[in-house]
């Protein structure tokens, strides 16, 4: 039935107030599992240094009764370093923009700073997990830290070539991509164990997280008939050499599966330079703030960890 003649409907009205929800919906991911899990330490220079060491190989040690001490040779520690990298974002909002009535936030500048902080953490996660060598930098070139992929040399399954050195000075050469298999992971875990490592995290991109869900570990999946939930994955992989937490990461290279002993890595921040926010000089009718971190990756002993590289991503 049609509208009765003379009825005044909303399409005839003027002055209806807008209906704008006082919420902003943003599903952009900002979880940074590596940066959130790894130890944080202090750096005191733009070149951050530390040392690693190893014991002599185990052997059948039998001495003749009454013999002199064997006078074993000592070996020096290995001195390593990485460069601090400055990652920064800023936000600028006009005086008018901060004065108007906005939906979903009380102050536009505060809201923009919140966004910049989340974006900065994503950038830091990407840099830390990258395949890039350290850059000393100068007046016209930014310092850059060596990412985790450029440190791991000893324990790998790859079709490409490992970094020439295990000190962050060289990068990995990518090879032909291949499907991620459980045998690849088991081989790297054995190599880590042989070197003395005890990895506790397997960090992978989203596609290869699904590949890991298909690993059986030599067992058969069982489910109770009364259980109404289909269990199609697992969060911990129990290997012959210990348990690995399986962590998906959106910001690492999708072609890498990182087999990490987390306490053998750290992120070092210069004092007072860990996610700081400060005002930028006012140059007109606007307010500006900068968010900044100065940090680097500390690879305490890369032989504790490994990588399954050159994996398919789709």
Domain hosting 157: range is: 27-52+78-218+233-308
**224 has a pLDDT exceeding 70:** no
Mean pLDDT of the chain: 92
Mean pLDDT of 40-54: 96
Residue that wins the pLDDT comparison between 16 and 31? 31
**255 has a pLDDT exceeding 70:** yes
The share of the chain scoring above pLDDT 90, in percent, equals 79
Residue 18 placed within a domain: no
Residue 21 placed within a domain: no
What's residue 36's pLDDT? 95
In 165-285, the DSSP E strands lie at: 201-204, 236-239, 242-248, 257-260, 265-269, 276-280
**257 has a pLDDT exceeding 80:** yes
What's residue 72's pLDDT? 87
Band of residue 8 on the pLDDT scale cut at 50, 70, 90: confident
- Helices (H) and strands (E) in the chain — how many of each? 5, 13
- Cross-strand pairs, 236: 245
pTM for the predicted model, two decimal places: 0.90
| Beta strands at 242-248 and 201-204: parallel, antiparallel or unpaired | parallel
What's residue 73's pLDDT? 87
Tens-place pLDDT, residues 115-144: 999 999 999 999 999 999 999 999 999 999
| Number of structural domains in the chain | 1
Tens-place pLDDT, residues 19-41: 778 887 888 888 999 999 999 99
Residue 214 placed within a domain: yes
Residue 113 placed within a domain: yes
Q: For residues 198 and 186, give the distance between their C-alpha atoms in angstroms, rounded to a whole number.
A: 13
Q: For residues 37 and 272, give the distance between their C-alpha atoms in angstroms, rounded to a whole number.
A: 20
Residue 175 placed within a domain: yes
Q: What CATH number did the domain enclosing 119 receive?
A: 3.90.1690.10
Residue 58 placed within a domain: no
Residue 64 placed within a domain: no
**220 has a pLDDT exceeding 60:** no
Residue 72 placed within a domain: no
């Amino acid at each position: 039935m049609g509208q009765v003649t003379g009825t005044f409907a909303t399409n005839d009205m003027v002055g209806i107030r807008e209906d704008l929800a006082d919420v902003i919906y943003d599903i952009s991911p900002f979880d940074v599992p590596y940066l959130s899990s790894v130890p944080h330490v202090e750096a005191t220079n733009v070149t951050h240094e530390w040392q690693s060491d190893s014991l002599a190989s185990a052997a059948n040690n039998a001495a003749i009764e009454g013999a002199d001490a064997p006078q074993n040779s000592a070996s020096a520690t290995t001195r390593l370093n990485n460069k601090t990298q400055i990652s920064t974002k800023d936000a600028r909002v006009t005086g008018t923009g901060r004065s108007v009535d906005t939906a979903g936030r009380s102050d536009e500048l505060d809201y923009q700073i919140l966004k910049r902080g989340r974006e900065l953490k994503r950038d830091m996660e990407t840099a830390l997990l990258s395949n890039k060598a350290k850059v000393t930098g100068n007046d016209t070139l930014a310092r850059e830290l060596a990412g985790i992929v450029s440190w791991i040399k000893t324990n790998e399954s790859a079709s490409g070539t490992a970094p020439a050195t295990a000190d962050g000075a060289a990068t990995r050469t990518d090879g032909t991509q291949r499907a991620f298999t459980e045998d690849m992971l088991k081989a790297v875990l054995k190599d880590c164990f042989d070197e003395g490592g005890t990895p506790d995290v397997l960090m992978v991109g989203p596609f290869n997280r699904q590949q890991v869900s298909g690993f059986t570990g030599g067992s058969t999946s069982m489910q109770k008939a009364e259980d109404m939930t289909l269990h199609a994955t697992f969060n911990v992989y129990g290997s012959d050499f210990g348990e690995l937490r399986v962590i998906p990461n959106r910001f690492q290279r999708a072609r890498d599966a990182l087999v990490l002993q987390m306490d053998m890595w750290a992120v070092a921040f210069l004092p007072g330079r860990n996610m700081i926010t400060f005002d930028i000089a006012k140059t007109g009718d606007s307010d500006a703030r900068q968010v900044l971190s100065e940090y680097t990756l500390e690879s305490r002993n890369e032989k504790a960890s490994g990588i399954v590289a050159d994996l398919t991503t789709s």
